[in-house]
Structure 1
Amino acid sequence: MPLDSDFPQDPQPPSRIAWLVVAMLIPVALLNYLDRQMVATMKTSIMADVPGLEDRAQWGFMLGSFKWIYAVLSPFGGYIADRFGRRLVIGGSLLVWSAVTMATGFVTDYHGLVATRALMGISEAFYIPAALALIADYHRGSTRSRAVGVHQAGIYAGQIIGAYAGHVADSPALGWRFAFQACGVIGMIYALPLLLILRDRPTKPAEEKHREASMFSALGELLRNRDYRLLVIYFTLPAIAGWVVRDWMPDILKERFSLTQGNAGVYAVLPVQLASMAGVVLGGWLADMGMRRTDRGRILVSAAGMILFLPSLFGVGFSEHLGLAVAFLVLYGIGWGFFDCNNMPILSQIVPADRRALGYGLMNLVSISTGGFADWGFGALRDRNIPLTMIFGGFALIALASAAVVLAIRPRRDLAEKPEPAA
């Protein structure tokens, strides 16, 4: 039965339907990030098997190719979701990126691998802005941060499963190509029921008229918003370290502590993602509770996550023992969870509903393109033997600046959240 079959005339949806939307998107979020994490944890096998892939700078460029394409197209995906609805964008994105995931398992050289990662960037760019905007559409009151946090937990679950991809790659009976092919088939199968059941939240006639604005006028409206510009900066700065931790940590631990590829993937990913899952649940609850006292509740909780980044990033850079490095990664994961569950909710406090997917897409453009250069730059720095202590110390200072930026954001009173009716 379609999700909007029993919608009341009141634009506020019942909690049961609102949470069902989140539940249906969790598997999509899982698949979205499973593919990304598999690349990092299967690095050794892919580099050994793909002709033309010879050094870490090339590997970083391949990772960056995904991010740059993803970043450039994110605003377009967001605009289409705002203009024509979230449902078709979400389902279509899943279907296409799953086909590309399967194709990745058949590449024969480095250029083919770069091409499939770029195509992956095109298809995945449309999902996150549309999905988070849809969740914000349904969760309009005191559950918004928790709802986003539960969805983001699906992302972390995908990364956790991806942590074990190194063991799949090491298996003679399976291998890294099998992992991509299997995930692609699963995603294509799930896209069909998702498209049949998922529905957009009905909108008011005034909202439909506002959606007819061109992309350029909508972008101009966003860029004239001082608080939105601050949020773009805030969203970008922590991601510099975030992408390096996600994409390079398995290789860092493997080299630093003489681990196997499979064990390095588990140690690098499992603690961070489990801690991030706890962080989004705790951070979402704290933010929703904080909103009962002040309209800056979500901002304060997100800033607290940045403060946790300081010791964790310094610690990862300086740790000489695996157990201590993992402990600092756990602290980092909690801080990331506080940050991750509140970005769309903070955006919803400064940007109207019919600009949120575009707004988040533009945030992705700036943040992920910067992350692509961070991946590439980190590989080049490591090729030149720049100490990890220096690199991660710089990341910690960036986190401190991020906390100052988010605290400068002022929520709009006309966009204040309203209580949701009982289910």
Structure 2
Amino acid sequence: MTTAATAASQPTLQAVSPATPVAASRARQAVVLAALFAAWAVAYTDRIVIGTAIIPISRELALSDAAKGYVLGAFYATYALMQLGGGALADRFGARRVLFGCLALWSLFTALTGAAWSLGSLLAFRLLFGVGEGSFAPASSTAIVQTFPQQVRARVQALLCSTVFLGSAAGAATVGWTIARIGWRQTFLMLGALGAVVAFALLVVPGRKHASQAAETAEAADAAEAVKARPRWRDIARDPLVWRVALTWFGCCVLALGLQAWLPIWLMRTRGIDLLHIGFISAIPLLASFVGTNLAGFAIDRLPAARLKHLLAGSALASAAFAAAMPFAGSLAALIACWTLCMLAFDVVYAGVFAIPLKHFPASVAGRTTGLINFAGQLAGAISTVVVGALVGHAGWTAAFAFLTCGALVASVAALGCRFHAR
């Protein structure tokens, strides 16, 4: 998990590593993977819609740039907090109940967003939407640990992570069209209904009983020892690797989530691009990232553990460089190229960060470590979207891009401090 020195200082977390649950059959793995893939695609479509919808919403509700920042950041505030509770719930009660409940709840508040009548109501619905989605990522990690063998988890996690780009690409193109044709209120209602339907697909995920049976068929001595000394939150929090990975993810999310939230407004204001075409342009780097994240997952499964920190640090640095170049692109083609390269570099960090809890920590804490790390990333989203809104209103877009770029630079430095060893 960490270097020998770190391992010696953290005996509790290391000693209680349980036997890896026996993998489900390949047919069951395929069904679970398909269900999780569909749910993640819906999650990211629901999440990205606000970036485009905020343009007509701000006109209808007369929102300032600062108010837009609060609306764009509200989701990430509650989403970040729920990462911690969601990881604990999934580790204790199993993934299926948590996953189903999350999707049902966030679909409800996605639909209700279309009924917002004021800034206050819009903020309330976005905060509650974050509560619904917040436990989904850690519960998904628990489902992967319960279903797939350790040697393929990075590529499975990368495939699910890549749905952020596939769902966002489909969402950006489709949502731009639906908002232009039928309005933003009807678009949110439509997405809420879609999520409610997909929620039932998650019932194929292994329940707590199935996961327990798998653990019982593993090495009995290790499993019994794990039950006697279940790792606690403080054991997880004492490991410096958790915090270094969390800071890496925090810095990259300052850049990525800030760009995701504000790029549609930036493109409209500085390039004069309308809503419909913003959606189609956004799909190009997002689709490239779908492929890039999956390739990164396969590479990370084969990468020596000692080299992972250099991969993360170099990729974070590259994402900062390409983001910094975006405001200076002389043509739309050059802008799209910089945007795409920025996202491809971010993909490597994304795949790596979410593979770490599955490959470098005990299986019994997969949900909680994922939740803690993703808490840092989503906290960055809440901060970044609000700060960018303030900077745009007072200092302009150049200052906003400088702030976003600094986030990725922090991530690069933090990644160099990580120490891994294969389990």
Partner residue, 1:400: 409
* Unpaired runs of at least 5, structure 2: 1-19
Q: Residue 169 and residue 107 in structure 1: after superposition, are their counterparts in 2 closer, same or farther (change >3 A)?
A: same
Q: Which residue of 2 is the match for residue 177 of structure 1?
A: 185
Kept after mapping to 2: 8 A contact 1:309/1:335: yes
Corresponding residue number in structure 2 for 1:163: 172
Question: Partners in 2 of 1:384 and 1:298 — Cα distance?
Answer: 40
Partner of 1:54: 63
C-alpha displacement of 1:103 = 1.4
Q: Which residue of 1 aligns with 2:22?
A: 11
Measure, in 2, the Cα distance between the counterparts of 1:10 and 1:145: 16
Q: CA shift at 1:136, angstroms?
A: 3.7
**Alpha-carbon distance in 2 for matches of 1:322, 1:136:** 43
- 1: distance between equivalents of 2:129 and 2:224? 31
The secondary structure found in structure 1 opposite 2:366 is helix
Taking the TM superposition and a 5 Å limit, the aligned residue runs for 1:71-90 are: 71-90=80-99
Match of 2:289 in 1: 276
Q: Does 1:203 align with 2:215?
A: yes
**Partner in structure 2 of residue 27 of structure 1:** 38
- Structure 2 CA distance, aligned partners of 1:358 and 1:212? 18
Q: Is the 8 A contact 2:110 2:129 kept in 1?
A: yes
Are the counterparts in 2 of residues 227 and 350 from structure 1 also a CA contact under 8 Å? no
Residue pair 1:82, 1:355 contacting (<8 A) in 2 also: yes
Single out whichever of 79-88 and 390-399 deviates more from structure 2. Answer: 390-399
TM-score normalized with structure 1 length: 0.86
Which residue number corresponds to residue 3 of structure 1? none
Measured in 2, the distance between the counterparts of 1:211 and 1:375 equals 42
**Does residue 285 in structure 1 map to residue 298 in structure 2?**
yes
User: Would the aligned equivalents of 2:87 and 2:368 in 1 still touch at CA under 8 Å?
Assistant: yes
2:253 maps to which of 225, 232, 239: 239
SS at match of 2:232: helix
- Over 3 Å counting, the alpha-carbon distance change for 1:283 and 1:203 in structure 2 is same
Q: Which deviations, in whole Å up to 9, do the C-alpha atoms of 1:34-89 show, x marking residues without a partner? A: 1111110122211223x3x4201111111222111111121001100011111110
Structure with a larger share of its residues in helix: 2
Partner of 2:7: none
Q: Is the 8 A contact 2:45 2:170 kept in 1?
A: yes
| Corresponding residue of 1:327 | 337
**CA distance in 1 between partners of 2:105 and 2:376 (Å):** 24
RMSD in angstroms over aligned alpha carbons? 2.3
Query: SS of the residue aligned with 1:342?
Result: helix
Distance (whole Å) between structure 1 residues aligned to residue 408 and residue 201 of structure 2 = 41
Tell me which residue corresponds to 1:111: 120
Deviations 1:112-166 (A, max 9, x none): 1111101101110010111123224433333222111211222212111221212
Task: Report the more deviating stretch, 123-132 or 281-290.
Answer: 281-290
Cα 1:393/1:193, change in 2 over 3 Å = closer
Say which SS state the counterpart of residue 106 (structure 1) adopts.
coil
Residue of structure 2 aligned with 1:312, choices 292, 315, 322? 322
Aligned to 1:420: none
Partner of 1:421: none
Find the counterpart in structure 2 of residue 66 from structure 1. 75
Q: Using the TM superposition, give the Cα deviation of residue 412 of structure 1 relative to its aligned residue in structure 2, in angstroms.
A: 4.2
Preserved CA contact (<8 Å) 2:247 2:414: yes
Q: Is the 8 A contact 1:305 1:339 kept in 2?
A: yes
Q: What amino acid maps onto 1:13 in structure 2?
A: A
Q: Does the 8 Å contact 2:251/2:409 carry over to 1?
A: no
Following superposition, the deviation at residue 270 of structure 1 comes to: 1.1
Q: Would the aligned equivalents of 1:278 and 1:337 in 2 still touch at CA under 8 Å?
A: no
Alignment-derived partner of residue 264 in structure 1: 278
> Are the counterparts in 1 of residues 312 and 352 from structure 2 also a CA contact under 8 Å?
yes
Separation of aligned partners in 2, 1:372 and 1:213: 36
Cα 1:376/1:213, change in 2 over 3 Å: farther
Within 5 Å, give how 1:365-384 maps onto structure 2.
Answer: 365-384=375-394
**Is residue 74–residue 382 contact of structure 2 (8 Å, CA) maintained in 1?**
yes
Moved more, 95-104 or 75-84: 95-104
- On the 8 A contact 2:317/2:409 being kept in 1, the answer is yes
Q: Which of 357, 361, 370 matches 1:360? A: 370
